[in-house]
Each structure stands twice: as structure tokens, then as C-alpha cells.
Amino acid sequence: MSAADWRKAMNSGSGRAAMRVQGPVAVLPQEISFQFKNPLAARHVLVLLLVLTFPLFASPFFVYQIGAQSLALGLIALSLTFLGGYGGMVSLAQMTVAGIAGYLVAILGTSAVMEISMKWPWWVAVPFALAGATAAAAFIGWLSVRTEGIYTIMITLAMGVAFYYLCLQNYSIFNGFQGFQQVYAPSVAGINFREAEPFYYLALFWSLAGYFFIKYLLRTPFGIALQGIRDNPRRMNALGFNVTAHRVAAYAVAGAMAGVGGVLFTWYNNLVTPGSVGTSWMINVLVIAVLGGMRHPIGAFLGAIVFVLLQTFAIDMIDRERFNLVIGVVFLAIVLFSPDGLLGWWAGLKVKLTPRGGVR
Amino acid sequence: MSRTWKIFWAVVIGVPVVAFIAWALWDNTRLFAVTFLNGLTLGSLYFIVAAGFTLVFGLMRNVNLAHGSLYLLGGYLGFFVAQWTGWFTLALAAGFAAAALAGLLMQVTIFRFMQGQDLRQTMVTIALSIVIADLLMWGIGAQVHQLEPPAWLNGPLRGIPVINAYSSYRLALLPIGIAIGVALWLFLNRTRVGMMIRAGVDDRGMLAASGVNVNLVFAITFAIGAGLAGFGGVIGAVELSMVPGEDIRMLLASLVVVIVGGMGSVVGAAIGATILGLAETYGLAYAPTYSVVFTFVILVLVLAFRPRGILGRPA
Amino acid sequence: MRRTFVKTLVGAAVVAAFAGIAYAQQGKPIKIGLLATLEGPFAAGGQDGMRGAEMAIRERGGVVAGRKIELIKASSDAKPDVAVNSTRKLVEQDKVEIMVGPLSGGEGIAVKNYSKSQPQVTFINGGSGAQGTTLQDPSANFFRWNTDGGQWMFGLGKAALDKGYKRVMVIAEDYAFPYSQVQGFMAEYCKLGGKVPVKAWVPLGGKDYSSVIARIPKDVDALLVVLGGADAVNFLNQYEQAGGDKPMLGGSITVSQDVLNYKGKRRDSLVGTLSAGPLADAYDGAEWKKFVADYKKAYPDGYPSPSLFAVVYYTNMKAALDALDAVKGDLSDGHKKYREAMSKMTLKLPTGEHKLDANRQAIGTTFITEVVKDSKGNLYNKFVRKVDNVNQTLGTPPADFKIGSRDEPNCP
């Protein structure tokens, strides 16, 4: 076989993936060079300072409903950004995994449903919940990864909805339509994590942990291999990497992260019901991830902040009834004109604003 | 899969099913027969809607998640046309036309410029589905809209052996579904455009290279696929009524049908729809609490052993 | 001349004195939050609920105890987490002093739980009718002035037996509100000797009732159908299409105005359906007739008659305002006087009188109704009979009372 034939064989079939990378506007991040730079720029310090001192100048409402909620949702969206942006598998089941973690915390821990909750202390219930979420994510991944990229959205959507109906119909474990109420964050060492400030710092801690973990993971051999698999699975397979195993592992990692976000989100809401894992929330998480931009992990949190602000204050600007329309139109505009979300729009703006010859 | 494994799975799945059928027939023959008809007719409706979905996906690799909204659009429009004119057939045509037009617009103004960017197209369809659903609710309201069947299909058909009485409209769904299936098959296999579509499903690049106006073929396909959703909407408006939220339900049913039956295959959609319809209705009749779990189990089984669906083809 | 001058001076002084008193009573505006489901499946009901609440405000001209009412609205989509988020915004961001809402049962329990963490605000229910909200783990600052789902059905059991229905099959959705409705019916029905051989619990949002219809046994006299909104319409349609002809008993939201007014041909098979709830469209009480006339005048694009949601929201908002009147708008002591006044108050409504029990749950009137068609072809609920002073435990001693569930109560 000639070299030209070899190249053709390597680049066709999964050539769609190659086409994607060469496409004019990609939804997936193209640069990997950023990972090897690590300057501590002014903006990093500024943002860190801002989030650390946020409770000092914001009202408890803002700290809790805007701050903590954005961080919890951002963590779940981050798992989607990791899986979709860096792994090439856009899974709509991240909210499902988060919901599984939330349900497990409610079932294993304390809630208003005395007949089902097992009342384990939080330091037992939470790790089990996270383990359960990771296992579920790996299972979902195993079912989804043996098909082509675009099938993943369909399959994960279908599985997410199946889980929703399971929660809705089953009363012996999931308590059906009512779900679990009064699922509270614990008090540890005298700090009551139900209060706005401690909970905010808890969410902030885990968000920062998730964010730095992802940034670190992407530079490890595993992370680089994952991105290689995203770009050209056939070639990676030929190089000896177990593509399926890598993908399932990526699902598991994303699942663990979504699980942490799910536990935080459940503690934020103080409840978990089938509505928390229904189609609207599943799509909301996708909207958040795309809104912020999947090219960098910070996009997930950006998208979450914008989403939560819109959700909370939409009723003051236009009717809250039309909230879905606003979200839909914003999402449509982003995908049509700036598929890299807010980050992509910002990057484009910076290019336009730098003096001529300036290239990022 | 080796022969022993195939036999093993056939036994594991087949024996409980046969045992169940035997028990159900002995226990309450009428219920079993009625449920069987219910399942087939529901499957017909699912087939009509899912056929459009799989056609669009098969040719253009576009997972059109706005398919449910097109169903809703066609259904509402058909309802209003039926109210104004009193003709059911006109309503059917209007539903088909409205959805087809919407689909055509979507393809020509948006998707045409995103060839090859599957993910982006899918996200656009998600956004469109949210926007269309909310616009419809804003304009038409959240009230239930129940379309009347035509006078000659109104009321029960009596005197059927074993079953006694069955809704004649519902029974009519079966021949309608079969007719659509046959018409689609004829279209795909006996017309020039159909030939081009089949060729495009196999190898899009080659189709373009042989001088065919690919954009035109895409537009036609999308229009037909969307029109089928709208047509299904009018039919569903009689049987299941129109209400916000129906779009998600139908979209999910289409997804499951296509995953089980195989992407891009109309025959696969027929098989998948039949399986889904039967599973849902038998579940609702014999174990209503867990009817959805059966659907889920079928989905998981298919994904585990035939990830591309029963008649699916490689991408 | 001097006398006229003095008279004018005295007159002016008196006027000035009155003006002064009036001005002193002008307090700052009072912020009231209103939450209903304006999105999702209950959107039509939520809209009517808001109309009902606004009617209570309009009755007083927008002012209560000299304070102007500032109404801040919020919306939810029947999901508890969305309801709590919206409520939290109203309470913590907009700083409302009184909170009226939410509409659906699951939301009600979530908001009740939230209310425990906000003791400085008084929460009044909107439309939610789940028994557990006030029966299990009640909150000291959550008041429910509408009767709950079980109370709404009390009296229907006897009416069914009077009509000769000795065996009834139950077809209801599989969640808490229908459980309470079925319990309200069966508590009396079973005690008086009726039998319920089959209970079919259908999944929420399932549209295909063909399987359930196939399971209806030949020897039941009537069907108790507790489905809401679109599900009710579907069931009725499919049942008629399949040739079913058994008489029906409807749950409170099964034959409510928003269902009877669905867009499509009026179902003659609905005529004669018995039901029960907190109102009867054609009740001939003078107050009720005035209420309906006010509704029709204020909302020409609403329903022909106020729906259950409008009445329930009106009830709760009126209670909030009446109690404010009783304490002359003074909420300065952390609402202590206000809540005390509310606990002791008798609320006069177009539908009767409501009082509160120890759990701050309403004791009120239940109406038994029958569906009839008027000259214009519209369907409405005719008044048959009413039962006063129905309490939450439906006449059984509280210790013996069990919340409705799938298996409770049972009398095959």
C-alpha cells in the first residue's frame, strides 16, 4: 500500500471528525497549545479575588441563589464541557448522573420520606452517592461509546428520559412524583452548611477543585490521548490505544464531577424530584455549556452565571412566562453566530480590538 | 456474535415472552387482543412520525430534535383548518404542508450553511424546538385542543369477535400507517428522487460528484420528513389531543424507535415502532407502574448488542 | 359677618383635622408576592389563579387598611425547585411581606419547607391541595385557607350511592393529589357500603388510555375518574370512541371549567357526571352570583365562569387582606398579631365560610355538582348539594386518619 493510500485510509471514514476540526467555525476547542502555557495573569488573580470576597459585598440572596447555584450548575456543565469539548462526546445525560447522585444522597441520608431514607450519616452517604453516580456514568458511557459521535446525543437523551420516567413511576425507591424533600446539607464542626455563606464557600471549593483538576487532567497522557481520540479515533486505535476504554473512563471522570455538582445542587434546592432530572434540565445544562463556550473550562461557569441571572431576573425584564423563549433565542443566536459561546465572542472581539497585526 | 450466544439470548428473551403470551391469552383473551390492537395502532402513529426523523437523519446526518415541534405545529394548524372548513382531509393536507414548509425553511436558511457540522446542526435544532414550542404556546395558549375524527370514523366499530367494540378511528390508524409505509417505500425505491436519496444515504460525496443538485435533494428530503411529522400531528391531535409537552413526548418516541430500528432505515423504523408500541401498551395494561421500564430495558438491550439498531447501517 | 367667619374657620379646621387623620393613616405600601404556574402543563390554571387573586385586590380598590398593595408576580412550571427559587427571589430579593402561592401540590410542600427558614414572612397557600402540606410537619407561618384535595371530595361517596352506584372503578393519576381525592371519596363511600373492586393508577402524563379502558370490568356501575387537564380530555375522548357508556364520577379538577372548555366538540357523554369540589359553577347563592358577574366583567377573555383555580387563589388572597384589615395593616411585630388574627378569623367567601384548624388548614364547604349543558352548548357544573364544615380528617379522629396512598383506603 502506498503512503498516499495509507493516508487516505487513515483520514476517511472517520474523516468527518477530521472535517470537523478543519471546519470554519468549530464548536470544539482546537487549540491545545494553551495547556502548556501557565502564566499567572492579572485576570486570574482578579477573578480569584472576586469569587473569594463575593460574600463580603453581596447580599445573602445573591450569594446563595446566584452564586452558589451558578457554581453547582457550572460544575455539572463543566463535566459536559470536558466530555463534549475535549472528548468529542456530547452527552445529554450529565444532569441524569447529577440527579442519580442527588437521589442517592436523599435515599441513603436523611429526608422527609422516612420510609425510604436510610439515615446514614453524610460522610457515608455522600461517598456512596458519588460512587453510584460514577458507576452509572460508566454504564451510560459503555452503552453510548460504541456508536458514532452524533448518535451520542440521541442515545444519552433517550437514557436520561428513561431514568426520568423510572423516578416518576417508582415509589418504593424513588418516591415517584413527590421525590425527596428536606434533603439538607449537613452541619460539620459547628458550621451549618445550610446557611448562605458556608454553602457558597463549599460550592466554591468544589468548583475550583473541579476546574483545576480538569486543567491538570488535560495535560496528562490520559487527557492528551482523549483529545487525540476526539480528533481521530481510528489513528489512535492504530497506535495501540484502547479507544473504548478511554472513552468510558472519560465518562466515569465526567460522571464523578457531575455527581459532586449534583449533590451540591440537591443541597442547594433542599429537594430532588423527577423534575430535577427531566428533559428541561437536561437541555438547560447543554445550553449552559454552549452558552459559555466549550473551548475552555471557565466557559461552563460563565454560562451558568448568565443562565442563573436570566432565570432569576427575567420576570422583571419581560414576563417570566416567556423565559423559555428568551433562553431559546439566546441559545439559537449563540449557536448560529458564535458557536464558541461567550468565550468565542470575547476572543473574536479581542482580535478585532487589537491594533492591526495583533494575533492572539 | 457466535451461534451459541445467539441461541442463548434468543432463549433468554424468547421464553419469557412466549410464556407471558400463553398466560395472558388464557387469563383474559379479550384484554390481550385489545391490547395487541392498541399496540399496533400506537405503533402506526409512532412509525409515521419516526419515519420522517429517520429519513432526515439517514440522508443528512442531521439529528433533528425539532421534529417534535413540527409535530405540534402540524397538529395545531390541522386543528384550526378543520374548525374553519370542517374537512378532515383538508386538515391533514394543511398539517403536512405547514410542517413541510417549516422544514424547508429551516433547511434552506440555516442548515444548508452548516453541512458537515453535525453537532452544531443538532444544537440549532434544540434551540429551534424550544423557540417554536414557546411561540406556539404564546400564540395558541395552553388549552387542550382536541380534534374530532371525521364523521365516518366517529364512534366504535361493533360486532368484532372476541373484542366486541373498538374505536373505528383508532383501527383506521393501522391501514393509514401501512399506506404511508408503502408510499414511502415506493417513493424511495421506484422514483428518481428516491434513488438519489438512497444513493446519498450510502455515499453523499459520490452523489454530489455525479452531478446531482445535492442541496435540492436535501431540501426535498427535509420537507418530506418534516411534513410526515406534521401529518402525524394531525392524526395524533384526534387520538391523543394537542397540548404543550406533546412535542417532547413524540420526539422521545421517535428517538427510541429510530435507535431500536436503526438509523436511516424506514423498514427499521417500522420494526422499531411496532416493538415500542406493543411494549408500551402491554406494559400499561399489565404492569402500568413499570411500563416505561420495559421500554428502557429494550433500549438498553438493543444498545448493548446492536448499537446501530436492528437494521442500522454504519455511518 | 363675624359669625360666618368663625363658622368658616371652624369648618376649615374640622376639614383640616380629618385630612390630617387620613394622612396619618396612609402607611407605606405593602408588598405582596404572588406565585402561580404560568408555564408548563398547568399554565391555563395558573393564569386563572392570578385572575382570582387580582379580583380580591380589586375588590378593595388596591388598598388595604390604608396601605397601597404592591403586587409582585412570579411564575413557576409545577416543578418544586423552580417554585422555591421564584419564592426565594420574592422573599429575599424583592422583600415581600406576605407571600401567596404556589399552585401545585408538590410545589406547596417545598414552599412550606422553605417557609420554616423565613419566619419573618407570612406564607399563604395559592392553590396547592396536597394533604401533607399541613397535615405532616406543618410550618408555623404557612397558612392554607383553601380546603385540600381530600376535603374536596367529601360527600361525593354518599351522592354516588344515592344514584345507585354500588360498585365503582377508580381511574386516577399516580401521585399524591389524586390519592387524596380518592381517599376523600372512599372514606365515606366504603363506610356506607360501597365497593371499589379495581383501582387503576395511571402514570402522570400518559396520554394513551386504551389499555386502562380495556381493563374496565363489566360489572362496575360507574367510573371515578381523577385526571386533570389534557389527560381528562384524552380519557373522555378515547372512552367514548371505544364505545364505553358507563356513567362517570369526576374528580375536582376533572370537570373543572378549564377542562369543560377545551377546544373541540362538547362531549355529550360528560353530561350528568357527578363531581365535588370547593365550588359549583351554577350555585345560586347571592354572593356567588355577584362574584361570577365581577369575574366576567373584569375578564371578558377568561372562562365563562371562574375555574377552581380562580376561586382558590381568591380565597387565599382575600384571607391575607382581611387579616391585614383586622390588624390595621400593622405588621411591625414580626407578624405576631397578624398571624394570631388570621388563626382566629372566620373568612366570609362567596362559597361559604372558612375557618382554620390547629395546623392552619382550612375547614370549609364542599359542593356536590353535576355537569349540565346550557342553551349555548357550554358545559357547566350544576349545584346539587353542599356539605359545610368539612375538616381535614374528614370526620375521623385525627389519630386514626391516614393520608391517602395507593392502597389506603381499600374496600374491594
The pLDDT tens digits of the residues spanning B42-58 come to 999 999 999 999 988 88
Own/partner long-range contacts of C212-217 (Cβ < 8 Å, ≥24 apart): C212/B284, C212/B285, C212/B288, C212/C171, C213/C238, C213/C239, C213/C242, C213/C244, C214/B30, C214/B31, C214/B34, C214/B35, C214/B38, C214/B285, C215/B31, C215/B285, C216/C169, C216/C244, C216/C246, C217/C169
pTM, two decimal places? 0.86
| Cα A342 to Cα A340: distance, rounded to the nearest angstrom | 7
CB within 8 Å: A177 and C86: no
| Cα C266 to Cα C259: distance, rounded to the nearest angstrom | 11
DSSP A103-125: HHHHHHS--S-TTT-----HHHH
Residue C408: what residue type?
E
Name the fold adopted by A31-353. ABC transporter involved in vitamin B12 uptake, BtuC (1.10.3470)
Q: Give the pLDDT score at C176.
A: 80
Q: Which residue has the cell 473504548?
A: A244
Q: Which residue has the cell 493510500?
A: A5
CB within 8 Å: A146 and B307: yes
Chain C interface includes A176 (CB < 8 A): yes
Domain residue ranges of chain A, discontinuous segments joined by +: 31-353
CB within 8 Å: C113 and A181: yes
Q: Give the pLDDT score at C356.
A: 92
How many beta-carbon pairs under 8 angstroms link B with C? 122
| H/E stretch holding A19 | helix A15-22
**Nearest CA-CA partner of C131 in B172, A178, B311:** A178
Give the model's confidence band at A39: pLDDT under 50 very low, under 70 low, under 90 confident, else very high. low
Using an 8 Å CB-CB cutoff, list chain C residues near A60.
Answer: 92
Domain range spanning residue B183? 29-305
Chain C interface includes A320 (CB < 8 A): yes
Give the model's confidence band at A3: pLDDT under 50 very low, under 70 low, under 90 confident, else very high. low
Kindly list the distances between the CA atom of residue C17 and the CA atoms of B109, C20, C26, C27, in Å, as whole numbers in the listed order. Answer: 73, 5, 15, 18
Residue B98 falls inside a structural domain: yes
| Cα B83 to Cα B86: distance, rounded to the nearest angstrom | 5
Query: Does residue B134 contact residue A328 with C-beta atoms inside 8 Å?
Result: yes
Q: What's the rounded mean pLDDT across residues A278-300?
A: 90
**Nearest CA-CA partner of B315 in A19, A162, A243:** A19
Query: Does residue C108 contact residue C90 with C-beta atoms inside 8 Å?
Result: no
* Most confident listed range (B115-119, B309-313, C393-397): C393-397
| Cα A17 to Cα A39: distance, rounded to the nearest angstrom | 32
- Return the DSSP state at B242: B
Residue of B nearest to C199 (CA): B288
B292 CB-side CA count, 13 A: 23
* Average pLDDT over chain B, rounded to an integer: 87
- Strand C274-277 relative to strand C362-373: parallel, antiparallel, unpaired? antiparallel
Query: Does residue C77 contact residue C107 with C-beta atoms inside 8 Å?
Result: no
Q: Give the pLDDT score at C2.
A: 60
Number of domains in chain B: 1
pLDDT digits (tens, 9 = 90+) for A307-319: 999 888 877 777 6
Q: Give the pLDDT score at A107.
A: 93
**Residues pairing with C64 in the sheet:** C67
- Return the DSSP state at B310: T
3-state secondary structure of A263: helix
Chain A interface includes C89 (CB < 8 A): yes
For residue A29, is pLDDT > 80?
A: no
Q: Give the pLDDT score at A7.
A: 59
Give the model's confidence band at A17: pLDDT under 50 very low, under 70 low, under 90 confident, else very high. very low
Task: Report the sign of the C-alpha dihedral through residues B147, B152, B155, B156, in that order.
Answer: negative
| Cα B38 to Cα C210: distance, rounded to the nearest angstrom | 7
Using an 8 Å CB-CB cutoff, list chain B residues near C229.
Answer: 144, 243
pLDDT digits (tens, 9 = 90+) for C141-191: 999 999 998 999 998 999 999 989 999 999 998 888 888 899 999 988 988
Q: Structural domains in chain C? A: 30-146+285-364 (3.40.50.2300), 151-282+366-400 (3.40.50.2300)
For residue B12, is pLDDT > 50?
A: yes
For residue B174, is pLDDT > 80?
A: yes
Residue B287 falls inside a structural domain: yes
Based on C-alpha coordinates, what's the Rg of chain C? 23
CA dihedral A308, A309, A313, A319 (to 10 degrees): -70
Residue B10 falls inside a structural domain: no
Residue B15 falls inside a structural domain: no
Q: Which residue did the predictor score with more confidence, C18 or A97?
A: A97
In angstroms, the separation between the Cα of residue C371 and the nearest Cα of chain A is 30
For chain B, first and last CA: distance in Å?
A: 21
| Cα B237 to Cα B252: distance, rounded to the nearest angstrom | 17
Query: Does residue A29 contact residue A294 with C-beta atoms inside 8 Å?
Result: yes
Using an 8 Å CB-CB cutoff, list chain A residues near B127.
Answer: 328-329, 331-332, 335
| Cα C289 to Cα C282: distance, rounded to the nearest angstrom | 8
In angstroms, the separation between the Cα of residue C378 and the nearest Cα of chain A is 29
C-alpha cell of C132? 401533607
C-alpha cell of B108? 434552506
User: Percent of chain A scored above 70 by pLDDT?
Assistant: 86
Using an 8 Å CB-CB cutoff, list chain C residues near A311.
Answer: 85
Phi-psi region of C31 (alpha: psi -120 to 50; beta: other; left: phi over 0): beta
pLDDT by 10s per residue, chain C, length 412: 565 565 555 545 554 544 444 444 447 899 999 999 887 767 778 888 999 999 999 999 988 888 899 999 988 888 899 899 999 999 999 999 999 989 988 899 999 999 999 999 999 999 988 888 898 889 999 999 999 989 999 989 999 999 899 999 999 988 888 888 999 999 889 889 889 998 988 877 677 888 888 888 888 999 999 987 778 888 888 888 887 888 889 998 888 777 777 766 667 778 888 999 998 888 888 999 999 999 999 998 888 888 889 999 999 999 999 999 999 888 888 889 999 999 999 999 998 899 999 889 999 999 999 988 888 878 888 888 888 888 888 888 888 888 888 887 888 8
At residue A118, φ and ψ (nearest 5 deg) are: -95, -5
CB within 8 Å: B31 and C215: yes
CB neighbour class for A32 (10 Å; exposed up to 12, middle 13-18, buried from 19): middle
Chain C: which residues have CB within 8 Å of chain B?
40-41, 43-44, 47, 174, 200-203, 205-208, 210-212, 214-215, 229-230, 233-234, 237-238, 240-243, 258-259, 261-265
| Cα B66 to Cα B132: distance, rounded to the nearest angstrom | 8
Using an 8 Å CB-CB cutoff, list chain C residues near A59.
Answer: 92-93
Alpha-carbon A163 to chain mean position: 18
C-alpha cell of A179? 421525590
